[in-house]
Amino acid sequence: MKTLIAAYSGVLRGERRAKADLSQRSHRGPSLSREGSGRWGTGSSILSALQDLFSVTWINRSKVEKQLQVISVLQWVLSFLVMGVACSAILMYIFCTDCWLIAVLYFTWLVFDWNTPKKGGRRSQWVRNWAVWRYFRDYFPIQLVKTHNLPTTRNYIFGYHPHGIMGLGAFCNFSTEATEVSKKFPGIRPYLATLAGNFRMPVLREYLMSGGICPVNRDTIDYLLSKNGSGNAIIIVVGGAAESLSSMPGKNAVTLRNRKGFVKLALRHGADLVPTYSFGENEVYKQVIFEEGSWGRWVQKKFQKYIGFAPCIFHGRGLFSSDTWGLVPYSKPITTVVGEPITIPKLEHPTQQDIDLYHTMYMEALVKLFDKHKTKFGLPETEVLEVN
Candidate from 46-55, 211-220, 236-245, 330-339 with smallest mean pLDDT: 46-55
Q: What are the tens digits of pLDDT across the range 296-348? A: 888 888 887 777 777 888 999 998 888 889 999 999 999 999 999 999 999 99
Q: Indicate if the pLDDT at residue 231 is higher than 80.
A: yes
- Predicted confidence at residue 44, as pLDDT, reads 62
Whether 344 contacts 266, CB under 8 Å:
yes
Looking at residue 174, its pLDDT comes to 98
Beta bridge partner(s), residue 277: 161, 337
CA distances from 32 to 22, 26, 45, 130, 330 (A): 10, 13, 20, 62, 61
Whether residue 8 lies inside any domain: the answer is no
Q: Is the pLDDT of residue 133 over 60?
A: yes
Assigned domain for 20 exists:
no
Report the number of distinct structural domains present in the chain: 1
Q: 120 or 338, which is more confident? A: 338
pTM exceeding the 0.85 threshold for the entire prediction: no
- Give the three-state DSSP class for 316: strand
For 55-75, what is the mean pLDDT?
Answer: 82
In whole angstroms, give the CA distance from residue 71 to residue 67: 6
User: What percent of the chain shows pLDDT beyond 70?
Assistant: 85
| Residue range 257-306, pLDDT digits in tens | 999 999 999 999 999 999 999 999 999 999 988 888 888 888 888 887 77
In terms of average pLDDT, the best of 61-65, 165-169, 299-303 is 165-169
> What's the whole-number mean pLDDT along residues 209-221?
95
Whether pLDDT at 118 is above 60: yes
Higher pLDDT, 297 or 161: 161
In a domain, 197, yes or no: yes
Give domain status of residue 5, yes or no.
no
Mean of pLDDT over the chain: 87
| Residue 159 belongs to some domain of the structure | yes
pLDDT at 33 over 90: no
The better pLDDT of the pair 373, 244 is held by 373
Is 125 contained in some domain? Answer: yes
* 237 three-class SS: strand
Residue 252 pLDDT more than 70?
Answer: yes
Once rounded to an integer, what is the mean pLDDT over residues 142-162?
97
Residue 351 lies in a domain: yes
The residue ranking higher by pLDDT, 312 or 175, is 175
Backbone angles phi, psi at 386, to 5 degrees: -85, 120
The boundaries of the domain holding residue 88 are 61-387
Taking alpha carbons only, the member of 172, 202, 205 closest to residue 190 is 172
- Please give the full DSSP string across 254-314, using - where no structure is assigned: E--TT--HHHHHHHHHTPEEEEEEEETGGGS-EE-PPPTTSHHHHHHHHHHHHTS-----E
Q: At residue 254, what are phi and psi to the nearest 5 degrees?
A: -125, 145
DSSP 325: E
> Is residue 342 included in any domain, yes or no?
yes
Distance CA 78, CA 316 (A): 13
